[in-house]
Chain A
Amino acid sequence: VEGEGRHNLKKPLGLAGLLLVMIVLPLALPPYQDTVLILFTINIILVVSFRLITTMGGWSFAHVVLMGVGAYTSALLTTELLHWSFWLTLPLGGLASALIAFVISFPCLRTKGFYFFISTFAAGEAIRQVWIRFKVPFGSFDGIGGIIHPNPIFGIDFIGLLPNYYLVLSITLLSVAIMYRLDKSRIGDTVKVIVLSEELSKSIGINTWGYKTMAFVVGSFFAGVTGVLFAHYVRFVSPMDFTGVYMFFVVICAIVGGTATFCGPIMGLVVVTLITEFLRDFLEWVPLFYGLFIIAILLFLPGGLESLLKKTSYLGKKMRMVSEER
């Protein structure tokens, strides 16, 4: 993979700059924008983990519901009865989502293509109905309220917006770093090769089923982590938090940014979040604009925004070559 040069200082410098912006930004913004920024930061894990699953060729339409599984798990374990610590339930919420993903992975991955999309969609719907059906312990439509703030650690409590933001930012950075390493590793490459030709991969002895399951389970683990962060930030979860519209939002981020590169969905998330904020006064119109937007992108820019960047950098390279020849 080109552009991975170790002596290239552009990338680390750019990342450091970005990090600095992310750290300073909330200090400069009014409280409302801070709340948007927190949800945006949480959503970064969600879209990056969604993209991780897409690298194996299946788009999990249960992703947002599996985020909900993490949220409900942590909400239940930290409230009245058990009083477990947020720091313990953070990974446990992820594991709960991963476990459910693993259970449904076998049937859902038995076939290719659309089967995975619509069977995960149906499975997600069934999980939502579990939350609605069982008033104890899930609270039905009322959901679960009074979820605790993350427990204090190193003498920091997480009651105000800023501490919550930095908590979310740290977990997001850690999660994204882990997924980045995985994506660039041999495992990540193998997953992508399987999509190119499953038959060929099988014939050279790759356990295609194992790799696809792993991508789905790991991606779902991070969806669960997202859910825990969401639950302890909003401090209330209900089945209406994890509906098709949220799933649609994640899919749009992936389409708008593109899924071929690691950064694609994050770019998509930035654009879609900004558009959503511009449309804040027309809330009930938002899904319609999303719909028009997604169709326009699919028809006119099927590779997403990342394909624009690739084009310019390709052009840039060509132009450099031409000028060097002169």
Chain B
Amino acid sequence: LVGELMTLAVAAQLLLNGIMLTAFYCLFAVGLTLVFGVMKIINFAHGELFMLGAFVAWLAVSAGSNLIPLPLLFFLGVAAAMVVVGLLGIAQERAIFRPLRTNPLGGFLAAFGLAYILQVSAGKIFGVHEKGMPDIFPGYLELAGGILTFQRLLVILMAVVLIVSLWCFLQRTRLGRGVRASSEDNEAAAVYGVDINRTSALVMFLGSALAATAGALMAPSLMVEPYMGAKIIWKAFIIIIVGGMGSIGGTIVASFIFGFVDSMIYIFGEPQLATMVDVLIMLLVLALKPEGVLGRGR
């Protein structure tokens, strides 16, 4: 009987961890997908935008300690992260991606350079030491023997809210339709009156803000340091490859795949093994269905 209970608890934990990782991966990678869809550039600095989001949340929490309650402070930090890093994304579009629009490889490599600029800058401003954060939402839920901390629950809820809002924005609003049109065919969209510059700035804002949100929400669970983005950017890369580049639905499906695969491997305490298995899955998908699970067969 004890054995059965154990397996049920383990299964519940696997499920909860899987959902949390899926939510995190989705938030992290969907911005990259959005940007690639419209601009046909992979933003190599996406991981650094994630890192900066975490730093903004950490700053908010550690700066104004006693006056405002911790959870409110944290939410202010998340909001600030979205705005600050979103604006940084717009600046990146204006300064780097726009002049290099006809040279996607150049844009990609310039973003590679920007990643290191942001890493060194963050290290010089905040220090390279890992920074922990206090427990902002103490306590946890217990579901069938599995444990879900409130912090992780928040990541899941926010991911659902943000992805659904993004979906509605893209489907229902005029601006969103412009984004989808540019993502289908930039030139045709321009002919029909979609302003490419504005659309590009918009997706860079949204994509960067989403990365920052992922960083800010995960900051209490991870160690905040300048290289935290560089360490996991490959994960976003394989998610958008497996999902099919530019496909938001595909990104969600791929996040589910890696969320649950990683959750299973992490339970054995094998983070490096997870990397190897993830990359093998990527190679397998590329070999069998190179356009990705939900890619537009190109």
Cβ of B120 within 8 Å of any chain A Cβ, yes or no, is yes
Interface of B, secondary structure class, is helix
Q: Give A115 to B242 CA distance when docked, in angstroms.
A: 10
List of B residues within 8 angstroms of A248 by Cβ? 112-113, 116
From B103, B109, B270, give the contact of A294 (CB < 8 A).
B109
Q: How many residues of A contact B (CB 8 A)?
A: 41
List of A residues within 8 angstroms of B283 by Cβ? 104, 107-108, 119, 123
B218-246 vs A, CB cutoff 8 Å, 1 = contact: the mask equals 00000000000010001001101100010
List of B residues within 8 angstroms of A143 by Cβ? none
Cβ of B208 within 8 Å of any chain A Cβ, yes or no, is no
Q: Give A6 to B113 CA distance when docked, in angstroms.
A: 41
List of B residues within 8 angstroms of A290 by Cβ? 113, 116
Cβ of B99 within 8 Å of any chain A Cβ, yes or no, is yes
Q: Give A291 to B92 CA distance when docked, in angstroms.
A: 13
A109-139 vs B, CB cutoff 8 Å, 1 = contact: the mask equals 0110111011101110110011011000000
Interface residues of B in 273-293 (CB under 8 A from A): 273, 275-276, 278-280, 282-287, 290-291
Cβ of B117 within 8 Å of any chain A Cβ, yes or no, is yes
Cβ of A251 within 8 Å of any chain B Cβ, yes or no, is yes
List of A residues within 8 angstroms of B280 by Cβ? 126
Cβ of A302 within 8 Å of any chain B Cβ, yes or no, is yes
Q: A292 near B103 (CB under 8 angstroms)?
A: no
Pick the interface stretch among A33-41, A218-226, A280-288.
A280-288
B13-37 vs A, CB cutoff 8 Å, 1 = contact: the mask equals 0000000000000000000000010
List of B residues within 8 angstroms of A288 by Cβ? 116-117, 120-121
Q: Give A178 to B237 CA distance when docked, in angstroms.
A: 35
Q: A114 near B120 (CB under 8 angstroms)?
A: no
Q: A110-B286, A294-B113 are in contact. Are A287 and B120 (CB under 8 A)?
A: yes
Q: A119 near B241 (CB under 8 angstroms)?
A: yes
Cβ of A244 within 8 Å of any chain B Cβ, yes or no, is yes
Cβ of A299 within 8 Å of any chain B Cβ, yes or no, is yes
User: Chain B CB within 10 Å — which of A104, A125, A285, A294 has the most?
Assistant: A125
Cβ of B212 within 8 Å of any chain A Cβ, yes or no, is no
List of B residues within 8 angstroms of A125 by Cβ? 234, 275, 279
User: Chain A CB within 10 Å — which of B36, B110, B119 has the most?
Assistant: B110
Q: A122 near B282 (CB under 8 angstroms)?
A: yes
B residues with a Cβ closer than 8 A to A are: 36, 42, 96, 99-100, 103-106, 108-110, 112-117, 119-121, 123-124, 230, 234, 237-238, 240-241, 245, 270, 272-273, 275-276, 278-280, 282-287, 290-291
A residues with a Cβ closer than 8 A to B are: 59, 104, 106-108, 110-111, 113-115, 117-119, 121-123, 125-126, 129-130, 132-133, 244-245, 248, 251-252, 255, 284-285, 287-288, 290-295, 298-299, 302
